[in-house]
Structure 1
């Protein structure tokens, strides 16, 4: 899909809103829209432009999920950093740029999706191949659902906009109940499942969303909805949809489109992209002008590590240390620790004893431009499908402990060098297995919230880990984030701030 996201076309210019920090997204004029969507290829470019908003998704997961979780102890090291309040549960997060980006980028993607879907509805007959027309709609609806799911997990209630609206109309749209937003998400994903293929045959289509990717994300939606409510307007609705999720995940498994790779580092190798583990990923094009590669490899990596090795400065700035609790949780023989984590280094003759995540860094491929890393980000991989399915089983969603839980978990552990098989496993223990397997992949915070463990794990972790006494007490309101201040300022009274934040 390296040609899908970032081909420089007129579409990108037409579909980007004029204001990224406000909800009042000014639509392109109907005349311009109608003029542009005049041949079938215009729709392809329009769909591609919706994919483009995935570009910062990996960075967002590292900044808002990984950093929020007990995987990192990212308190002050002498300067005020944007991630500090995220990690330390500050109440005054409404102006945090990470939250601004999450809101603006997702809604920009939704706006572009609505534009494409509106044109398919009115001008779609230009695409005479009905199967292709349905595929374009399915891809676009998957992406709209994906962006809304991201918003719900961060903010809870959000404005539900399923068509292009004017600036004036947007100012009258309040935040919708989470259940209503999920309604659109599920409808969009089901349409994607019904109209997408399992595999693409043309090289130019490599990386496009597939039927199985839609099944995997819909399963995760059902699992997230089944999580506890915490008595807040968050992503969990307390529903018992584990069986629905199990069925979808099992369909992905029995499709035989994916395979378990025996070497953990090979899953993330720069020379092994689009491998048999990848169900859905964000793909990047490198060496282009303008530069449109990946930035996520250095997000959690301090700059002085790169410079100490004679590499160009990237953008990670200072260190976000891996939590001692996570470091100590790895068994001695676990090879994932050395691959994922750098345990100290020396820069300018000074030893840095703290550890950091280096999972996506290949020191032989550090680019001159920090915006041009040549590696894709795996959003959903086959191992995740297997372990999510195990989670459903442990929650009573189907299957049995031996086949659906112990076999895949022991397979994952054996790949990591842990040869003694487990003979029993609780949900809490499964989450610890996931913690080490998916470290630095942005899943930890979502796992804690979905499982209900966030209420006990985070307070206990803060007590044990916060040696600098920088972190605020955790309360259930912090399951979701603050609404960005820019959105509260768009129209007084349209939105109210999430409980627990200033």
Structure 2
């Protein structure tokens, strides 16, 4: 059933300890003491390095829930005090430059890129004579670097481009690069990964490693993001109209025959059904107090719920800032749709026997599978699954004037799995995006989908008018809000090196 490999457990401390960057106010320059030939001497060393690079994915579920799901019309979390970072995100606050999550996300992604760059900088036939293994390790590192840079431009737009390890002094001379230039590296990295990664791994110990199909799925998402309707001149959407490039990649995944929809929607997220036929790439977690558990699960449920249900060292959201699934999203589900009942917990009883009126994401929570504390949930987190491939294909077909019959078949297949037996026809682009919203609730895709589609401003203003019962969310939403603020400490490192994104 598990996992990335045993290295994830036994070597995690060594890999992550060795791979941590030198922390200073030059956080923008992710330099590591491991970046010398003294460490990378053989294949085993590179596998350890890759373990550290994969370990950087641990923050992915949290980042994309806070910065995509909470930002969108899926979650209503204005807060009563407004002091939590995610309340500022929910409310479209313009003071985000000082928010801790802006800094931790920026630094975390650059530390991950440093790890990948350090691996790539040390690869040579001298230390890795096996050409096949050398190419695979290079491809895994490039896949991860491409993924991390894709996150950076989706969150921040223009970012400094480091394609090799640099010194702190060099970093002080490297400005933010145009998004198109960063995309150039991302696409080259993912194309290399497609050409040099296996379609699948035969060893159970390699579960969770990037495959060529994972790279295809990610590159298709990249092309579709580039191709959408541009709202921000320095954001991730460029209006490149590369739908056919995305379709080629998506069809290669579909035609491989390796993946399928799981019959029961709930089984995608079952603790005893990980790495199932729907998963193309996910993030591997382990429970048991090993330090590699899925902390992300506790970012959804309320603290009072956790205490009343015996979750050890409860954690969860604070009483002044619940992350409530929006009324609008709940109303969009048909009565026979199984996805909302499985994904959302509606109301709960606290430790004092009081009924609390709230709705929160529960699709990752199984009270029969608790770890030693709130950081120790076992469930893997899906980054790319087959339903996403199918619905991306429907979207790309819709945008490129493709077959309406295929679009309808795809959407009806997804709806059928959700328990909706009545088919629909002449499915529109807006209907595809709404189906994505219902299918991927809580999976961190919604804000990215809204930005890519060019619908973000209109959808959010309409949603705020009906769902913002607390009157906390700014209605002055503009194209500036399509990306986030550059962290203030990055601006302070060297005056004039970076400019703040407009609107912050």
TM bin, normalised by shorter chain, reads over 0.9
Q: Which of 466, 469, 475 is the matching residue for 1:467?
A: 469
Deviation digits for residues 225-281 of structure 1 (CA, Å, limit 9, x no counterpart): 011221420000011100100110000000111111110000110000000000000
Secondary structure of the structure 2 residue equivalent to 1:23: coil
Structure 1 residues 191 and 397, CA gap change in structure 2 (3 angstroms) = farther
Show the counterpart of 2:190.
189
Question: How much does 1:73 deviate?
Answer: 1.0
Does 1:28 pair with 2:29?
Answer: no
Show the counterpart of 1:219.
220
Secondary structure of the structure 2 residue equivalent to 1:395: helix
> Retained in 1: the 8 A contact 2:159–2:178?
yes
Instruction: Supply the distance in 1 between the matched residues of 2:157 and 2:176 (Cα, whole angstroms).
Output: 9
Larger displacement relative to structure 2 (259-268 or 16-25)? 16-25
Deviation digits for residues 63-91 of structure 1 (CA, Å, limit 9, x no counterpart): 11000000011011346222101001000
Deviation digits for residues 162-182 of structure 1 (CA, Å, limit 9, x no counterpart): 000001101111000000000
Show the counterpart of 2:231.
230
> Retained in 2: the 8 A contact 1:5–1:284?
no
Show the counterpart of 1:277.
278
Instruction: Supply the distance in 2 between the matched residues of 1:344 and 1:457 (Cα, whole angstroms).
Output: 27
> Retained in 2: the 8 A contact 1:141–1:192?
yes
Instruction: Supply the distance in 2 between the matched residues of 1:455 and 1:196 (Cα, whole angstroms).
Output: 39
Question: How much does 1:8 deviate?
Answer: 2.9
Q: Which of 331, 336, 346 is the matching residue for 2:334?
A: 331
> Retained in 1: the 8 A contact 2:12–2:51?
no
Question: How much does 1:37 deviate?
Answer: 1.3
Show the counterpart of 2:394.
390
Question: How much does 1:27 deviate?
Answer: 3.4
Task: Return 5+ residue gaps in structure 2 as ranges.
Answer: none
Deviation digits for residues 133-175 of structure 1 (CA, Å, limit 9, x no counterpart): 0000000000000000000000000000000000110111100
Q: Which of 337, 343, 350 is the matching residue for 2:354?
A: 350
Secondary structure of the structure 2 residue equivalent to 1:489: helix
Question: How much does 1:2 deviate?
Answer: 4.5
Question: How much does 1:486 deviate?
Answer: 1.4
Structure 1 residues 40 and 397, CA gap change in structure 2 (3 angstroms) = farther
Does 1:300 pair with 2:300?
Answer: yes
Secondary structure of the structure 2 residue equivalent to 1:363: coil
Question: How much does 1:349 deviate?
Answer: 3.1
Question: How much does 1:415 deviate?
Answer: 1.3
Secondary structure of the structure 2 residue equivalent to 1:94: helix
> Retained in 1: the 8 A contact 2:31–2:114?
no
Show the counterpart of 2:151.
150
1:98-247 aligned within 5 A = 98-120=101-123, 123-247=124-248
Instruction: Supply the distance in 1 between the matched residues of 2:365 and 2:435 (Cα, whole angstroms).
Output: 23
Q: Which of 362, 368, 372 is the matching residue for 1:364?
A: 368
Task: Return 5+ residue gaps in structure 1 as ranges.
Answer: none
Q: Which of 71, 80, 88 is the matching residue for 1:85?
A: 88
Instruction: Supply the distance in 2 between the matched residues of 1:435 and 1:29 (Cα, whole angstroms).
Output: 42
Question: How much does 1:125 deviate?
Answer: 2.6
Pairwise CA RMSD: 1.5
Structure 1 residues 429 and 29, CA gap change in structure 2 (3 angstroms) = closer
Show the counterpart of 2:267.
266
Q: Which of 489, 497, 502 is the matching residue for 2:492?
A: 489
Secondary structure of the structure 2 residue equivalent to 1:432: helix
How many residue pairs get matched?
Answer: 494
Instruction: Supply the distance in 2 between the matched residues of 1:190 and 1:349 (Cα, whole angstroms).
Output: 56
> Retained in 2: the 8 A contact 1:5–1:283?
no
> Retained in 2: the 8 A contact 1:2–1:284?
no
Structure 1 residues 74 and 145, CA gap change in structure 2 (3 angstroms) = same
> Retained in 1: the 8 A contact 2:56–2:112?
yes
Instruction: Supply the distance in 1 between the matched residues of 2:95 and 2:497 (Cα, whole angstroms).
Output: 20
1:444-463 aligned within 5 A = 444-463=446-465
Structure 1 residues 446 and 231, CA gap change in structure 2 (3 angstroms) = closer
Larger displacement relative to structure 2 (56-65 or 19-28)? 19-28
Instruction: Supply the distance in 2 between the matched residues of 1:397 and 1:424 (Cα, whole angstroms).
Output: 13
> Retained in 1: the 8 A contact 2:311–2:373?
no
